[in-house]
Amino acid sequence: MKKMYVVYKTHLDIGFTDLAERVIDNYVEDFIPRAIQIGQERPDKFTWTTGSWLIDYYLKLSTVSEGKKNELRKALRTGTIKWHGLAHTTWTELMDKKLFDYSLTLSQNLDKTFDKQTIAAKMTDVPGHTIAIVPLMAKAGLKYLHIGVNASTSIPDVPEMFVWRGKDGSEIIVHYAKDYGDLFAREGWDEMLYFAHSHDNQGPPKTVEEVDAIFSKIAKNHPGVELIPSGLDEFAAYAWSKKETLPVVEEEIADSWIHGIGTDPKKIGQLRQLYRLRDQWLASGELIEDSSEYIAFSDQLLMIVEHTWGGNGNVFLPDYRNYLLEDFKQAREKDDIQFKTTGYLDFADRMALISTDIDSEEMRPKRSYRLYEDSWNEQRQYIENALDCLAPDKKNEALIVFEDNEQPIKPLVQTEALKVGYIYQLPNEVELSIGVSGGIRYLKVKDREIVTAGREFGGLSYERFDEGNYQQYLNQYSRLNQNTATWALVDFNKRGIEAYPEITYELIKPMVESGTITQTDERVTIAIDVVYRPFDVENWGLPVKNRLTYVIDPVNGTIDGTYRWEGKQANRMPEGYWLETSLKVNTPSRWKMHKLSDAISPYDVVVKGNRNLHGLSFEGLTYSGADGRVQIQSETAPLISMGRRGLLKFDQEQPSLNEGIFINLYNNVWGTNFPDWFEDDMTFRFSANFEIY
């Protein structure tokens, strides 16, 4: 008789449907106790599976009584509740190797406590991840990863089930589903997988009768099949036994949602600073891995990389009228979202009426600019929580680093005035010239031009997007259908901007206002103030002050760059800020990008993965060829676009890195789940080092 493993699971969004605090409370106070109770009453029909973080969190929580924890422990031992091998769904490209390894220890520690061997894992919603996780998962004993893709999102062009092989030969089976989870049955296989999967924070079945009905329906549709309630490990073991029959994929997949992490540059900048400090403390012995301090600190970092970064835009902000800057300012201050349902309805009214849960009285109180912003600020609080987990000396050290990045722009020190366009002769056969927008537009080292005509290192640019950009993107990217269009046209779009002729695509660059150059025997320091047109500052909220600084060491071949903006206004219209870091090499196919410290070719990404934009670890981009060695690093902002500015592009073109390398400093092109505007002052750090043969 064939077997079908029935897996009950809920998609965990730590936020999105409500403030994260309330969502977690709901799992603790309702979902987990309910799953325990149903498991006790229907052990032959029900097993609930969740990520290891939720189990670990519940068992650590001081507000949960020991009696309730023992009830969960009993369910874990009997198998009516199971964890899988990953903490929760994460932005894997925002993680570093140390944090990803830590996330795996949650499951490993539960395995030790409850004498289990977890081999399966699952991530849901997010469509893709980096191949850099394969050796880390395999080393932790995991053999199977199920990826349930958001129902309106493009699926990477890979087999439904395949062996994902890292460059070190490590392997895991990857199983893709077109939604969070569905039926998997394959000709010639005696075992099948069925997901009884509830959607965003909807929890386990409400009653045992609901479980009975689910089982009856499955049995009716699959007569003669043995139904087994289970976690993922049982099917994973069977799939692993069939590994030799599966196709092998060795390419990078990447994440076509990763641009979302660019919506809060302050948060990700501080996260990356904490990564660096943590590594320094571990190396010096000031922080001990596996200590209570390290564990508590890492738990909070895990919350930052979880995939939910804010509320549901459909529910929290069904305001499709107030996009232009002054209208938006007034609406945000007033915070009273109104739309008509009868009589004459304008465009914004009609758009609101097709928003998710628009008729729900329960959801009405969530329609608020202020509450929407609260959902983002709540996510920022994890940085503060992480600091509070540190000993006072380390917390103070971190705060000093944070404060160093908040130093305001001071007037330029009057030294030698910078000459825009002039070619400066520097030591060690280095020639350099600054362009009209403040970037290094010409750089020659030992008779080899590494910044060439039309390209810049340090050049700033600003993109405004319009409905045409979104329509092209949706046509290339989204799996829109009658079931998904109402919410997806908010999630992946800026619903309503088509009604505003002022919102048009434009690429804008600043102009040099003034600059200085200071030369010593060892280095050259260039400081430049650049400005945007007053019209752009007034209408699109561009920063009032902008300072670019380059510290160039021509002898050692390094450029350390800093860009600071001040006075950026909150802007709800879609926008992207870029800093170009283009350096020309003879063989661009030899560039490597680093994710979780693993070197990956940007030319080796599957179709419909993400060929446009990648989240890189500190090593950044490295090149080694017959012409020399080059490294480009972005300390603050991890998003790098290859060959072009890659927001709202999904045409599957392979990048040419000699056509440009761009750091995405900020964007707000998502329509949900992420901050919709940003108004903090920011400092971004970037660098290059080069050895030209």
Strand, helix or coil for residue 640: strand
Q: What is the mean pLDDT of residues 497-515?
A: 98
Instruction: For the chain, give the mean pLDDT.
Output: 97
pTM across the whole model: 0.97
* pLDDT tier, 521 (very low <50, low <70, confident <90, very high otherwise): confident
At 289-315, the pLDDT tens digits run 999 999 999 999 999 999 999 999 999
What is the rounded CA–CA span in Å between residue 479 and residue 458?
37
Ramachandran region of residue 344, left (φ > 0), alpha (ψ -120 to 50) or beta? beta
Q: Which residues contact 415 (CB under 8 A, 6 or more apart)?
A: 516, 517, 518
Q: Which two tokens stand for residue 303?
A: 């919350």
Note the pLDDT of residue 13: 99
CB atoms within 10 A of CB 535: 10
Q: Which residues contact 681 (CB under 8 A, 6 or more apart)?
A: 406, 408, 564, 565, 566, 567, 568
Q: Is the model's pLDDT at 115 over the cut of 90?
A: yes
Strand, helix or coil for residue 679: coil
Q: Which fold has domain 416-465+505-692?
A: Beta-galactosidase; Chain A, domain 5 (2.70.98)
Number of helices followed by number of strands (H, E) in the chain: 18, 30
Q: Is the model's pLDDT at 242 over the cut of 90?
A: yes
Whose CA is closest to 554, among 527, 597, 525, 533?
A: 525
What is the rounded CA–CA span in Å between residue 164 and residue 603?
17
At 549-585, the pLDDT tens digits run 999 999 999 999 999 999 999 999 999 999 999 999 9
Q: Which helix (H) or strand (E) holds 122?
A: strand 120-125
Q: Is the model's pLDDT at 355 over the cut of 90?
A: no
161-165 and 575-581 strand pairing: unpaired
Q: Is the model's pLDDT at 94 over the cut of 90?
A: yes
Residue % of the chain over a pLDDT of 70: 100
Q: Is the model's pLDDT at 143 over the cut of 90?
A: yes
What is the rounded CA–CA span in Å between residue 603 and residue 666?
24
Residue % of the chain over a pLDDT of 90: 95
Q: Is the model's pLDDT at 357 over the cut of 90?
A: no
Q: Which residues contact 582 (CB under 8 A, 6 or more apart)?
A: 451, 455, 456, 457, 658, 660, 661, 662
Note the pLDDT of residue 285: 98
- HSE, CB side, 13 Å, CA atoms: give it for residue 102: 23
**Domain boundaries, given as residue ranges, for the chain:** 3-256, 281-318+355-404, 416-465+505-692
At 379-391, the pLDDT tens digits run 999 999 999 999 9
Note the pLDDT of residue 486: 87
Note the pLDDT of residue 165: 99
At 177-207, the pLDDT tens digits run 999 999 999 999 999 999 999 999 999 999 9
What is the rounded CA–CA span in Å between residue 488 and residue 354?
11
Architecture label for domain 3-256: Alpha-Beta Barrel (3.20)
Q: Is the model's pLDDT at 367 over the cut of 90?
A: yes
Q: What is the mean pLDDT of residues 132-147?
A: 99
- Look at the alpha carbons of 472, 474, 480, 482 in this order and tell me if their dihedral is positive or negative: negative
* pLDDT tier, 362 (very low <50, low <70, confident <90, very high otherwise): confident
Q: Is the model's pLDDT at 360 over the cut of 90?
A: no
Q: What is the mean pLDDT of residues 416-445?
A: 96
Note the pLDDT of residue 577: 99
Note the pLDDT of residue 209: 98
DSSP state of 653: P
Note the pLDDT of residue 8: 98
- Of residues 654 and 663, the one with the higher pLDDT is 663
Report which residue type is found at 127: P
Q: Is the model's pLDDT at 363 over the cut of 90?
A: no
Q: Do 225 and 3 form a contact (C-beta atoms < 8 A)?
A: yes
At 153-176, the pLDDT tens digits run 999 999 999 999 999 999 999 999
